[in-house]
Amino acid sequence: MTGGVSRSGPLPDGTVDVAVVGGGVVGAAVARELAGREHDGRALSVALVEARPDVGDGTSKANTAILHTGFDATPGTLESRLVRRGYELLGGYAERAGIPVERTGALLVAWTGEELAALPALADKAVKNGYRQCEIVGADEVYGLVPALGPGALGGLTVPGESIICPWTTTLAFATEALARGAGVLLNTRVEGVQRDGGEETVLLTNRGPLRARWVVNAAGLGSDAVDRLFGHERFTVTPRRGELLVFDKMARPLANRIVLPVPSSRGKGVLISPTIYGNVMLGPTAEDLRDRADTSTSEEGFAFLVDKGLALMPELLKEEVTASYAGLRAATEHGDYQVHLDGAERYLVLGGIRSTGLTSSMALAEHAAGLLAEAGLVTSVRDELPEPPRMPNIGEAFPRPYMCDDLIAGDPAYGTVVCFCERVTAGEIRDALASPLPPADIDGLRRRTRAMMGRCQGFFCGAEVGRRLAPVPDSVEESR
Amino acid sequence: MNLTTDVAVVGGGPSGLTAAAGLAAAGLRVLVLDREREAGGIPRHSDHTGYGLRDLRTVMTGPAYARLLANRALEAGALVRTSAMVTGWAGEHALDVTTPEGRLRVDARAVVLATGARERPRTARMVPGDRPAGVLTTGQLQNVVHLHHGKVGTRAVIVGAELVSWSAALTLRTAGCRTVLMTSEHDRAESYAAFSVPGRAVLRVPVATATRVVRINGRDTVESVEIEDLRTGERRTVPCDTVVFTGGWIPDHELARAAGLAMDPGSRSPVVDNALATSRPGVFAVGNLVHPVDTADVAALDGRHVVRHVLAYLGGTPTGAEAIPLRAGAPFRWVSPGLVRPGAGAPPRRRILLWPDEHRAVARVMVTQDGREIARRTLPWPVSPGRVFRVPSSLLSGADPHGGPITVSLA
Ligand SMILES: Cc1cc2nc3c(=O)[nH]c(=O)nc-3n(C[C@H](O)[C@H](O)[C@H](O)COP(=O)(O)OP(=O)(O)OC[C@H]3O[C@@H](n4cnc5c(N)ncnc54)[C@H](O)[C@@H]3O)c2cc1C
Ligand SMILES: Cc1cc2nc3c(=O)[nH]c(=O)nc-3n(C[C@H](O)[C@H](O)[C@H](O)COP(=O)(O)OP(=O)(O)OC[C@H]3O[C@@H](n4cnc5c(N)ncnc54)[C@H](O)[C@@H]3O)c2cc1C
């Protein structure tokens, strides 16, 4: 089987060494990792199989985008270990691949006596999770760090290592590097059935026909339990836990220069305020269990709840315009930890139930997966002569973008032609995204690659122009600068 | 690349182009910077008649009006640079600009901000639900239809019933899309009877008043909207494939805020005085940036008005007396200008502009200062939300130049 991106038509013939089901951040990380390995002196052939028209189009695109230190994980869990390890791995990789990361740090704020009393235990827990930089601070210091906080903060805990990262670029970088390493990315390909013929191969039955694989890794996120059942297991059930978020105008960014966390409760991490890597401020998420695994709609109740919270946490924030709202679905299960199970005999591994930390732990999960597959007999080593990691286009606000770069514009006027004004996206960047190894399938995909149309006007000025560039009108005589 | 000029005008819409023409005619070096490929501002894609009445004393279509104003600025000797996006400030009167020819630093002696206003999109109005394609603003709709000859759906719901909403209905009709419903949160359609009655007759658009859109349904494309009757709380679903959010104006004030100019919390515009001067000496603001939103001719006349004051500033004339704050009382959300500077002359068109949040059939205007009523007059035009209410500035003539804030409200 050959590599490359395929969105339609019959699937390639032949058998791949590993099929990774699910092109979220976890699956993409696994595909990247395995495509860089060899077995018996031969490079592994890998296919990343994704039901949607793009990678990173599920939960991986709709989260709070924090690179977690893991300070508040449950000590001793697999999640705690992999978040800690993933934090280091992804932090380092981000630098090499040009994934924007800002080391903002976080401040956990106590608003009640009970929360204040919980801080020492949290600091201890952080140490148990291997994180030693937390410090308890008084109310004065809390307001010194985040002056815009509403009244009533009693104290806080600093977590200097918590950082923000671009979740979209992360998944794209993994998938792009997997491609460069020879993997195939099969989009619009949904796994609907599994055939085991008793031999060494598994046949994945998809809407685009069968795909034969020697090993299968299930990283299907919200669908990981369903795929697990196709392999005959009854181990866990995913309950989509919706998290709604409001994103505020860039004008709000000076209000929140670090992540403001609530004291976690049994219901989850609670509502936070965070700067985003694109220069905005985010408020959320909610936590609400749903039935429908595809329901990423937002709700009146969710908005009302967030507005209430926001008014208490940071009244000034609510005076700014909301430029986006969205909902992500956490793949929560009845268990307290990631659902990672290896079936050596079946040559099958599931990485499921990766609820609320999977962006951070993605690379560690991939490393862990390689280790588990080795236990089951797929012993691999990292190939020599791997291509360099891709250099991803920067869409982070804290780093130079093409519209600011004289030398880039001098070499190519398209980088000086601003198309999306609010986000300052140039014609050059849109053109590059369309010509990239993994081009977008629609406006949303273009947005995740360039930020086009994700700004305050939502297309009032540029919507028509961006649309035209995405799908050029055949009889258009305009130059495509 | 560094450029110097006497006056930099940011935004080449009706207000900026008119200011540029006047300033260039007065002998100044004027540079207009506009980020679009062509100058003209919103009228470029507003392909219907109704432009030019007050400034040109004639009526023409938006695109014709845009071309005419651009030509006048050029003929007067202004330089007009398009595809030139002002990204920030490089000094008190200096701008950073991105163009296909490279980055520019423009050093000016005075700056006129004329960046206009836009409609609040769905996100800013916090309408929940699915997030399918087919949800737009009038601005995007008209760009798609008039500038790009693109397609829209077949059944639209228009949110809002202001003048611009009827403009959206016209565009939809041109594009072969039927408007199945127009909604207004007000008890009666906001727009002027003069337009809405024949408008309704011609376009046959049903208007649901006291109604808000509470949800959008449809995963990939719009399938319906859910609306609520604000009087009864009753909800129903309206099938459609297109939703156009109209009105809900917010000025394009990012540069103004980046400069740290004093801002008006009601309009979110930079605060200006009767000379259209902002809180930074030598920086002026005109057009819909300071009154979101009035008609294009009124914006253009701001541009004409500011010329004299820019010249005075550059000539070293002191600004004059301490300005008195002008405040919007009920039922108004904002008033423009927000400062009255004694000795600076009348505001543009000798009018104070106010934005009402409620309808009133009879407009009994009341002006007070320091608890004292200084004027009261009944004006012969109604107060309707969604359009600017204009009050003659002569009503302020009784104000004490050394007194406190002046409030304009309805009795
Ligand atoms: C509100 C919210 C906030 C969060 N905040 C953070 C945070 O700050 N930091 C952090 O590290 N993590 C955070 N997370 C968690 C993180 O987003 C997830 O853990 C991570 O995205 C999971 O990645 P995944 O690849 O497992 O799943 P997904 O991204 O859901 O990918 C799974 C993919 O599998 C595909 N698929 C499913 N079934 C099939 C099938 N049968 N055939 C083919 N393909 C299939 C889906 O289409 C999907 O693309 C947050 C999550 C939410 C919801
Ligand atoms: C759909 C619709 C229909 C309308 N119909 C009518 C009508 O029939 N009659 C009527 O009189 N009025 C009408 N109006 C109102 C009219 O269009 C406006 O009043 C008028 O355009 C305002 O002019 P302006 O100069 O203030 O701003 P605009 O026309 O908005 O111009 C602002 C300019 O600034 C530029 N700009 C902004 N920021 C930057 C930056 N950072 N760098 C460079 N350039 C920048 C923009 O590109 C734009 O060209 C309508 C408006 C709309 C939206």
- pLDDT tens string A193-239: 999 877 889 999 999 999 999 999 999 999 999 999 999 999 999 99
Distance CA B370, CA B208 (A): 42
According to CATH, the superfamily of the domain at B121-247 is: FAD/NAD(P)-binding domain (3.50.50.60)
Compute the distance between CA of residue A39 and CA of residue A370 in angstroms, rounded to an integer. 11
Distance from residue B116's CA to the centre of ligand 2 (Å): 5
Residues 6+ apart with CB under 8 A from A227: A21, A22, A191, A194, A218, A220, A350
Contacts of B144 in chain A (CB under 8 A): 463-464, 467
State pLDDT tens for residues B159-199: 998 889 988 999 999 999 999 999 999 887 655 444 455 55
Sign of CA dihedral B237, B239, B241, B244: negative
Q: How far is the CA of A60 from the centre of ligand 2 (A)?
A: 38
Q: Whose CA is nearest to atom 18 of ligand 2?
A: B296
pLDDT tens, residue by residue, B119-157: 999 999 999 999 999 999 999 999 999 888 888 999 999
What residue spans in chain A does CATH classification 3.30.9.10 cover?
Answer: 106-160+239-330
Q: What percent of chain A has pLDDT over 70?
A: 97
Distance CA A374, CA A359 (A): 24
pLDDT in tens, A50-106: 999 999 999 999 999 999 999 999 999 999 999 999 999 999 999 999 999 999 999
Looking at residue A111, its pLDDT comes to 96
Beta bridge partners of A260: A107, A273
Q: What is the pLDDT of residues B279-322, one digit of tens each?
A: 999 999 999 999 999 999 999 999 999 999 999 999 999 887 89
Ligand in nearest proximity to the CA of A185: 1
Q: How far is CA B254 from CA A79, A457, B205, B408, in A?
A: 43, 12, 36, 28
State in Å: Cα B385 to ligand 2 middle.
20
- Going by pLDDT thresholds of 50, 70 and 90, the confidence category of residue A474 is very low
pTM, whole model, 2 decimals?
0.96
Q: Which residues in B have their CB inside 8 Å of a CB on A?
A: 35-36, 83, 85, 87, 98-103, 118-124, 126, 128-131, 133, 136-137, 139-140, 143-144, 147-150, 214-215, 219, 250, 254, 257, 265
Distance (Å, whole) CA B83 – CA A386: 42
Please check whether residue A322 touches B, CB under 8 A: yes
Nearest to A321 among B124, B129, B150 (CB): B124
Residue A478's pLDDT is 35
Give me the mean pLDDT over the A453-481 stretch: 72
Name chain A contacts of B265, Cβ cutoff 8 Å. Answer: 319
Pocket lining: B12 vs ligand 2, CB cutoff 6 Å: yes
- HSE-up of residue B248 (Cα within 13 Å, Cβ side): 23
Query: pLDDT tens digits, residue range B23-59?
Result: 999 999 999 999 999 999 999 988 888 899 999 999 9
Q: Which residues form the pocket of ligand 1, taking CB atoms under 6 Å from any ligand atom? A: A 21-27, 49-52, 57-60, 63-66, 68, 190-191, 219-223, 227, 243, 285, 328-330, 354-360
B116 CB within 6 A, ligand 2: yes
Architecture of the B2-118+250-319 domain: 3-Layer(bba) Sandwich (3.50)
Minimum distance, in Å, between the CA of residue B87 and any CA atom of chain A: 8
B38 lines ligand 2 (CB under 6 A): no
Burial classification of residue B345, based on how many CB atoms lie within 10 Å of its CB (0-12 exposed, 13-18 middle, 19 or more buried): middle
CATH code, B348-410: 2.60.40
Residues A452, A444: Cα–Cα separation, whole Å? 9
Listed residue (A165, A224, A122) closest to A357, CA to CA? A165
Name B91's bridge partners.
B94
| pLDDT score, position B188 | 74
What residues contact B27, with CB distance under 8 A and at least 6 apart?
none
Averaged pLDDT, A374-383? 96
CATH 3.20.20.60 is right for the domain spanning A4-60+167-238+335-382: no
Q: Measured between beta carbons, which residues in chain B are less than 8 angstroms from residue A253?
A: none
**What stretches of B138-241 adopt beta strand conformation (E)?**
155-159, 178-183, 207-208, 211-217, 224-229, 235-239
Confidence at residue B197, expressed as pLDDT on a 0 to 100 scale: 52
For residue B79, CA distances in Å to A78, B17, B20 come to 65, 10, 9
Write out pLDDT tens, residues A391-431. 999 999 999 999 999 999 999 999 999 999 999 999 999 99
Question: Residue B147: what pLDDT?
Answer: 83
Which of B37, B46, B54 to mutate to test ligand 2, by most ligand atoms within 8 A of the CB atom?
B46
Do the Cβ atoms of B118 and B252 come closer than 8 Å?
yes
Residue A380 to residues A93, A181, B359, B407: CA-CA distances in angstroms? 21, 15, 75, 78
For residue A331, report the distance from its CA to the centre of ligand 1, in Å: 7
- Indicate the SS3 state at residue B173: helix
- CB of B224 within 6 A of ligand 2: the answer is no
Tracing tokens 């019959």 back to the chain, one arrives at: A10
* Residue of chain B whose Cα is closest to the Cα of A294: B219
Pocket test for ligand 2, best of B34, B42, B112 (most atoms within 8 A of CB): B42
Q: What is the pLDDT of residue A145?
A: 98
Which ligand gives the minimal distance to the CA of B297? 2
Residues 6+ apart with CB under 8 A from A50: A22, A23, A27, A57, A185, A186, A187, A188, A189
What are the chain A neighbours of B146 within 8 Å (beta carbons)?
none
Between positions 410 and 449 of A, the ones with CB within 8 A of B are: 410, 413-414, 416-418, 421, 424, 443
- Chain A residues whose beta carbon lies within 8 Å of the beta carbon of residue B87: 403-404, 424
Q: Where in chain A is the domain with CATH 3.50.50.60?
A: 4-60+167-238+335-382
Our CA-based measurement puts residue B89 at a distance from the nearest CA of chain A, in whole angstroms, of 13
Is the pLDDT reported for residue A481 higher than 90? no
Residue B98 has pLDDT above 70, yes or no: yes
Q: How many angstroms separate the CA atoms of A354 and A333, rounded?
A: 9
pLDDT at B190: 59
From the CA of A325, how many Å to the nearest CA of chain B? 6
**What does the pLDDT look like over A333-372, one tens digit per residue?**
999 999 999 999 999 999 999 999 999 999 999 999 999 9
Please, which pLDDT band fits residue B202 given cuts at 50, 70 and 90? low
Instruction: Check CB contact under 8 Å for B129 and A417.
Output: no
Task: Tell the residue nearest (CA) to atom 34 of ligand 2.
Answer: B11
CA distance B42 to chain A (A): 9
Q: CA-CA distance, A269 to A333, in Å (whole number)?
A: 16
The single-letter DSSP state of residue A247 is E
As beta bridge partners, residue A202 has A196, A213
Q: How far apart are CA B316 and CA B302, in angstroms?
A: 22
Portion 374-413 of A in contact with B at CB < 8 A: 403-404, 406, 409-410, 413
Largest CA distance in chain A: 68
How far CA A122 is from CA of A79, A313, A341, A357, in Å, comes to: 17, 21, 30, 18
CATH architecture of the domain covering A106-160+239-330: 2-Layer Sandwich (3.30)
Averaged pLDDT score across all residues of chain B: 94
Distance from CA of B395 to the nearest CA of A (A): 32
Residue A476: pLDDT band (50, 70, 90) is: very low
Distances (CA, A) of A471 to A295, A439, A451: 28, 12, 17
How much is the pLDDT for A140? Answer: 98
Q: How far apart are the C-alpha atoms of B7 and B9, rounded to whole Å?
A: 6
Portion of chain B with pLDDT greater than 70, in percent:
97
**Residue B120 tokens, joined:** 């609040």
- Mutation choice for A interface testing from B87, B140, B215 by most A CBs within 10 A: B140
B89-102: average pLDDT: 98
Domain locations along chain B: 2-118+250-319, 121-247, 348-410
Residue A475 confidence (pLDDT) above 60? no
Mean pLDDT of B230-251: 97
Nearest to B124 among A323, A413, A416 (CB): A323
Domains B2-118+250-319 and B121-247 in one fold = yes
User: What DSSP string runs through A408-440?
Assistant: HHHH-GGGG-EEETTTTEEHHHHHHHHTSSS--
Min CA distance, B184 vs chain A (Å)? 19
| Interchain CB contacts (distance < 8 Å): A and B | 116
Pocket lining: B42 vs ligand 2, CB cutoff 6 Å: yes
- Cα–chain center distance at B351: 16
Q: How many CB atoms lie within 10 A of CB B231?
A: 10
**What is residue B330's predicted lDDT score, i.e. its pLDDT?**
94
Q: What is the DSSP string of B69-90?
A: HHHHHHHHT-EEE-S-EEEEEE
Residues 6+ apart with CB under 8 A from B244: B136, B137, B138, B141, B156, B157, B158, B159, B165, B168, B172
Taking 90 as the threshold, does the pLDDT of residue B388 lie above it? Answer: yes
Chain segment A157-190, per-residue pLDDT in tens: 999 999 999 999 999 999 999 999 999 999 999 9
For residue B119, which residues of chain A lie inside 8 Å, CB to CB? 460
Query: Given CB atoms, is A480 within the 8 Å cutoff of chain B?
Result: no
- Residue-wise pLDDT for A97-147, tens only, equals 999 999 999 999 999 999 999 999 999 999 999 999 999 999 999 999 999
Q: Which pLDDT does position A479 carry in this prediction?
A: 33
pLDDT, residue B162, reads: 85
pLDDT band at A267 (very low <50, low <70, confident <90, very high): low
